[in-house]
Structure 1
């Protein structure tokens, strides 16, 4: 993503040297230090409670910023993802970590402009069994548009996440199954995972 260089004032696409935590103007060579922190993403199929877990995470990860990504929509979903990474990057410059709660796929995140400004992006899969997922989805208000096809799609997607956690993600994406645990316990497990990797 192009920015205004603080050295020459030109609008440029900076080069990034992660090892030195600097971005470099290709025109004048001005070097700007930046904080290179990891980013954390809680993904999962619909119905697992990604939105619900946000409040509990804020109670246990008080030194991090926790966001429900559904709070910022865009007609272009890739632009919305890019915007979330820009927000997370700015937060990182204050030395704070960001946890994004929303269905985000690795390849979509890696296509974002600001992906290169993070030390690593870690994913965790929030999961529940099919019976719990179906019950939760059917309990949603009518305006949410839950159909039989939607339920079937997210059952398949949930299985795909389980099947590909060790194939598509590095390190392998862990799974927290909240079928039979409450939000407090799920948040505690997610907090331990975040603290392990940061």
Structure 2
């Protein structure tokens, strides 16, 4: 399905989403009025600043949980410098839409900033968005980012993102896991538990 109208091939992503039932919903084309069904599944999002352990956790979860793990960094080398951050986020969500169309729930793993999910029109194609953020202590994150030779301005920004998730994430309905005092397999176990609880 993606976002193409089967009647007129209109590709406007901002179609109206109408009724939903049993894992499907109906979209209405703003151009010709055609209505068509698509799979309407929850999206799982594992978020956080660079260096908190998302990729390590994704590697431990891949093939071990029901949702298909999709890591946004998979194509970051192709998109950096070629697409805006907003376009990269939209692309990630479209990949997840494609997984849903194939009947597979998706766990998106990426450095989504706190506001990006709500801002993207692609998210209308997900029944709900279940969010979990990995965080760590400031000193740990700063050390990890310096090992990646990040500029100080980027480090300061990522520390702010990490603090937002750590201090305000739960107030916004986000599950928060602090990786500073946990081994990688323990972090993966916490995230696996979050996914399983969200599926109930």
Question: Normalising to structure 2: TM-score of the pair?
Answer: 0.82
Q: In structure 1, how many angstroms separate the alpha carbons of the residues matched to 2:35 and 2:114?
A: 29
Is the 1:56–1:184 Cα contact (8 Å) retained in structure 2?
yes
Aligned residue for 2:139, secondary structure, equals helix
| Aligned length in residues | 188
Q: Give structure 1 stretches of 5+ with no counterpart.
A: none
> Cα distance, 1:92 vs. partner?
0.7
> Cα distance, 1:89 vs. partner?
0.8
Instruction: Name the counterpart of 1:23.
Output: 27
> Cα distance, 1:127 vs. partner?
1.2
Question: Which of residues 123, 133, 138 in structure 2 aligns to 1:125?
Answer: 133
**Aligned pair in 2 of structure 1 residues 136, 26: CA closer, same or farther (>3 Å)?**
closer
> Cα distance, 1:84 vs. partner?
0.9
Question: Which of residues 40, 56, 64 in structure 1 aligns to 2:60?
Answer: 56
Question: Which of residues 125, 128, 145 in structure 2 aligns to 1:137?
Answer: 145
Aligned residue for 1:48, secondary structure, equals coil
Q: In structure 1, how many angstroms separate the alpha carbons of the residues matched to 2:86 and 2:107?
A: 18
> Cα distance, 1:148 vs. partner?
3.7
**CA RMSD, 1 decimal:** 2.3
Aligned residue for 1:60, secondary structure, equals coil
Aligned residue for 1:86, secondary structure, equals helix
Q: Give structure 2 stretches of 5+ with no counterpart.
A: none
Instruction: Name the counterpart of 1:11.
Output: 10
Question: Normalising to structure 1: TM-score of the pair?
Answer: 0.83
> Cα distance, 1:136 vs. partner?
2.1
Is the 1:18–1:119 Cα contact (8 Å) retained in structure 2?
no
> Cα distance, 1:175 vs. partner?
1.1
Q: How does 1:43-192 map to 2 (within 5 A)?
A: 43-61=47-65, 63-73=66-76, 74=79, 75-140=83-148, 145-167=149-171, 169=172, 172-192=173-193
- 1:100-157 Cα offsets, whole Å, 9 max, x none, are 21121343222323210001112111011122223322333xxxx3234433333232
Is the 2:47–2:112 Cα contact (8 Å) retained in structure 1?
yes
Is the 1:12–1:26 Cα contact (8 Å) retained in structure 2?
no
Q: In structure 2, how many angstroms separate the alpha carbons of the residues matched to 1:25 and 1:149?
A: 44
